[in-house]
């Protein structure tokens, strides 16, 4: 479960000014939810995602992930929690170009000190699950965009995270492939993993269960996707 209590975050601008990006975010995302975070650029959605992903710190408030308060963590601790609780999917896939699909998927297990044979075997299972078993030994540049994103999702899933964080996961894909990828997220979600997708694409948010709209650092609206459409 993800709980945010009045999260504030400012960035210094110049020497004395601050840009107040998040102005008291309160948010609860239950286990097994499929949520999208929407908002125009500058609304703070990327910052929110970074905080949710323990990639960035916050100034005050409280972020509780799986009953652990994520505050004042050392680099080592945040790396540990990222690896334990979270899976990341990026817009530009961020696969390591010199590792094949299987090795890319296996990477999070490397940092859990799982042996090479074991982690490659597990990685192969995940690739199989996403229909990419035959592509296991291919390098990222030999894969299509959709395939790359499926590899990235497999990589995000391999450490059995409680939350998947996806930053514009369909931003680099055509609409047909986007559809496929969203279906995968829905499948993953059905198996019990919480999925949080940051997007500005209404097609994408329309396929999630709840849409959180962000504007100027505050949650403007949070609710069921259909309802959102009506309001818009």
Partner 1 sequence: MIDIDKWKEILLTLSKNKLRTALTMFGVFWGIFMLVIMLGAGNGLQNGVMYEMAGVATNSFWMWGSRTTVPYKGLKPGRFIRFNNDDTKAILENVKELKHFSPCNQLGGYQGTNIVARKNNSGTFNVMGLYPEIRYIESVGIDAGRFLNEKDISDNRKVAIIGQKVRDILFTPDEDPIGDAIKINGVYFKVVGVSNPGKRKGNSADEEREKIFIPISTFQQAFNYGDKVGWYAATAKDGYSASIVEEKIKAILKKRHKVAEEDQNAIGSYNSEENYLETLSIFTGIKSFVGIVGFLTLLAGSIGIANIMLIIVKERTKEIGVRKALGARPSNIIAMVLQESVLLTIISGFFGLVLGIMLLDTVSFAMSGMSDNSDVPFRNPEISSAIAIGALIILIITGIIAGLIPASIAAKIKPVSALSAE
10 Å CB burial of residue 3 (0-12, 13-18, 19+) is middle
Packing angle between helix 145-157 and helix 101-110, nearest 10 degrees? 20
Rg (CA), the chain: 18
Decide if residue 45 touches partner 1 (CB under 8 A): no
Decide if residue 190 touches partner 1 (CB under 8 A): no
Decide if residue 160 touches partner 1 (CB under 8 A): no
CA 5 – CA 28 distance, rounded (Å)? 9
Q: Which stretch binds partner 1 (CB under 8 A): 37-45, 82-90, 180-188, 219-227?
A: 82-90
User: Quick one: which of 73, 90, 122, 206 contacts partner 1 (CB under 8 A)?
Assistant: 90
Decide if residue 200 touches partner 1 (CB under 8 A): no
Decide if residue 79 touches partner 1 (CB under 8 A): yes
H-type helices in the chain, by residue range? 45-52, 75-85, 101-110, 116-129, 145-157, 175-190, 202-205, 225-231
**Residue numbers at the binding site for partner 1 (CB under 8 A):** 50, 53, 55-56, 75-76, 79-80, 82-84, 88, 90, 92, 94, 96, 98-99, 103, 107-108, 110-112, 115-116, 155, 159, 167
């Amino acid at each position: 479960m993800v709980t945010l209590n009045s999260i504030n975050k400012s960035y210094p601008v110049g020497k004395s000014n601050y840009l107040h990006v998040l102005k008291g975010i309160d948010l609860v995302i239950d286990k097994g939810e499929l949520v999208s975070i929407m908002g125009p650029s500058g609304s703070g959605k990327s910052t929110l995602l970074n905080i949710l992903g323990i990639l960035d710190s916050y100034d005050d408030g409280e972020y509780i992930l799986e009953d652990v308060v994520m505050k004042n963590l050392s680099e080592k601790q945040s790396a540990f929690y990222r690896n334990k609780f979270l899976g990341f999917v990026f817009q530009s896939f961020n696969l390591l170009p010199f590792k094949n699909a299987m090795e890319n998927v296996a990477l999070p297990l490397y940092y859990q000190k799982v042996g090479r044979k074991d982690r490659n075997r597990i990685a192969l299972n995940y690739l199989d699950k996403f229909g990419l078993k035959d592509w296991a030994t291919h390098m990222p540049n030999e894969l299509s965009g959709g395939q790359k994103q499926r590899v990235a999702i497999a990589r995000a899933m391999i450490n059995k995270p409680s939350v998947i964080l996806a930053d514009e996961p369909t931003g680099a894909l055509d609409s047909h492939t986007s559809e496929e990828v969203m279906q995968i997220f829905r499948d993953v979600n059905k198996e019990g993993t919480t999925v949080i997708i940051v997007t500005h694409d209404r097609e994408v948010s329309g396929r999630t269960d709840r849409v959180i709209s962000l504007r100027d650092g505050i949650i403007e609206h949070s609710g069921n996707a259909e309802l959102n459409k009506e309001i818009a």
